[in-house]
Amino acid sequence: MSRLKLAIVGLVLLVAATYAVLAILLLNSSARRVPDKPGFTAQEALPSAQEAARAWQEDAQLVSANASWRGLPADELLEEEASWAFAYFSPGARALRVLQVTPEGAEEAETLDANPNAKVVDADSWHVDSGEVLSTFLQQGGRDFLQENPEATVNLRLGSTEDGGSLVWLAMGISSADKRTIVVQVDPVTGAVKSPAP
């Protein structure tokens, strides 16, 4: 075989080996990857919720946002789309409306009489989205909790603290088997982990 043919064969083998190495690296990185974009997030759901709430009552104000995931491994938790429940209070109607929001839009879940002192949330005051909160929850012990309790439910709630104080994200894992829980509080403005919930 001529030197030219040997050089071509060597080059082809080198290119093939390079592609094989790249393929292995890509497979390994995709197995460990954090998703570039989490599933349907609270901030993605908010515009539909706001529009539906204002169509209901012009003075409607946000009270809370909630979502739940059940029986998901940690990595799937970050990707799974949730249905969001947004609660809005109307001082004029003295009523609370809960809206169910999916990527397809918002619809009424229920309307209740409400205390006129309901704690409302400034819809523009939170900057940390639900995907970041879930990631923080997993880093703060949630990943281990879900490995130990694969049937657990994870709840996210954005709202005022129970004493009506500051706005907070609460991420809670609850085991259906023995009712064990893990709770992580996240500041919705800075993303900082706050003191453990009681």
How deeply is 82 buried, as exposed, middle or buried, from its count of CB atoms within 10 A (0-12, 13-18, 19+)? buried
> What pLDDT score does 57 carry?
96
Average pLDDT over residues 20-45: 55
Cα(63)–Cα(49) distance, rounded to whole angstroms?
Answer: 12
* Mean pLDDT taken over the chain: 82
Mean pLDDT of 27-39: 46
Share of the chain above pLDDT 70, in %: 77
Q: What pLDDT shows up at residue 161?
A: 81
pLDDT score of 38: 65
Supply the pTM of this predicted model: 0.77
- What pLDDT is attached to residue 9? 42
Q: Is the pLDDT of residue 198 over 50?
A: no
* Cα separation, 61 vs 53, whole angstroms: 8
Burial class (CB in 10 A: 0-12, 13-18, 19+), 116: exposed
Report whether pLDDT(36) > 60: no
pLDDT by residue (tens digit) across 119-167? 888 878 889 999 999 999 999 999 999 999 999 999 999 998 876 668 9
Spatial contact of 135 and 41, defined as CB atoms under 8 Å apart: no
